Amino acid sequence: MKRTFLALFTGVIFMFSCSSDDTSGGTDNQTDNFDRSAMLVNWADNIIIPVYEDLNSKLEILAAEKEVFIAEPTPTNLFSLRTAWQDAYKVWQYAEMFNVGMAENINYIFQMNVYPTNVQDIQNNIESQDYDLSSVNNNDAVGFPALDYMLYGVGSTETEVVDFYTTSASADKRKIYLSDLTDRMQSLTQTVLEDWKNGYRDTFVSSTDNTATGSINLVVNDFIYYYEKGFRANKFGIPAGVFSQNPLPDRVEAYYTYDFSKVLALEAMTAVQDFFNGRAYQSGSDGRSLADYLNSINGSEDLSTSITSQYAAARTKINTLNDSFAEQVNTNNVAMTETFDSIQLAVVLLKVDMLQALDISVDYVDADGD
């Protein structure tokens, strides 16, 4: 099986593939008595599947509001459509870290949240009406970021956005593209959810071996990769210019919505903390977790506490930022880089100390030099 991962630097998408068929690093000779099966059950039944169910529900609402707006493009219907998009985007922050099963097979995360979106590709697709949204060439012209542009970036006022879908010669084409984007996001999510509920869940929870293809190893790697790349680098480091000569404020998540990037980052921080602590997505009750796993291994109790403390420190830093990360970068980028640094402190704890304690090897390519 090939593991494919995404890194986004200065607007360029890099895809890395590495084989996880070998069992180098992880071995099935752990001598701890931790109940890994219980942790996998908690992850599947109380976190992952409920997240996909909620995301699917939110996307169904988004699709319904899209139909209303297309039938009658008005400021009121635009407001409802935007609200549905924001609600779904917040739930996505809890789903993005899980790149296993069908999500990995269909390149789900690449189809849902590659940003910055490519406006030129979107415009070309609209005008040509000849596009394959599943093509890797359209990964930066689909998903939540593409809808960000289609709902906010095509005009500076609600009236101008509505005019984009009503008064121009391309209005009907624009409606079609808006509809296709939304329907594809819902269809992809339904595919992933149905796979979990129709067999993959049982396969997942039964794979308790500490090998490169074991469920714990795969999910832990996805979790760390997301924290390091999807969260730390994409949301903070790239816009702040950590990986480039200059800051790149147009690389923030939800760029066109303007004041939504902080909301998404805080949701993502909660998702990271909740997963580490095994907190159920819906009920908020705690189950078997990575924190418990570390606490079960001699000498790792302090590590679990250190990780939790660093998460809290990172959240505190995020809370000091402007609601618009683009505005934050433009007016006081030092605060943005300081937040990145605080988030970075947990990377070493996770990627080095935690993996060593759990006897798990990194299964992705690190290309940003950190």
Q: What is the pLDDT of residues 217-245, one digit of tens each?
A: 999 999 999 999 999 999 999 999 999 99
Q: Is the pLDDT of residue 6 over 90?
A: no
Long-range CB contact pairs, 12-17, < 8 A, 24+:
13/110, 13/114, 13/139, 13/140, 14/367, 15/110, 15/136, 16/364, 16/365, 16/367
Residues 272 and 346 in one domain: yes
**Band of residue 365 on the pLDDT scale cut at 50, 70, 90:** low
Choose the weakest-confidence range: 81-85, 93-97, 355-359: 355-359
Q: What are residue 66's phi and psi, to 5 degrees?
A: -65, -45
Q: Is the pLDDT of residue 19 over 70?
A: no
The verdict on whether omega for the bond into residue 247 sits within 30 degrees of 0, i.e. cis, is no
For residues 299 and 10, which has the higher predicted lDDT (pLDDT)? 299
**Band of residue 366 on the pLDDT scale cut at 50, 70, 90:** low
> Could you tell me the pTM of the whole model?
0.91
Enclosing domain of residue 160: 35-208
- Residue 174 domain-assigned (yes or no): yes
Residues 203 and 87 in one domain: yes
Residues 162 and 214 in one domain: no
Q: Is the pLDDT of residue 43 over 90?
A: yes
The pLDDT of residue 60: 98
Residues 269 and 336 in one domain: yes
Looking up residue 185, the CATH number of its domain turns out to be 1.20.1420.20
pLDDT digits (tens, 9 = 90+) for 97-123: 999 999 999 999 999 999 999 999 999
Helix and strand element counts for the chain (H, E): 18, 2
- Residue 370 domain-assigned (yes or no): no
The pLDDT of residue 342: 98
pLDDT average, residue stretch 189-217: 96
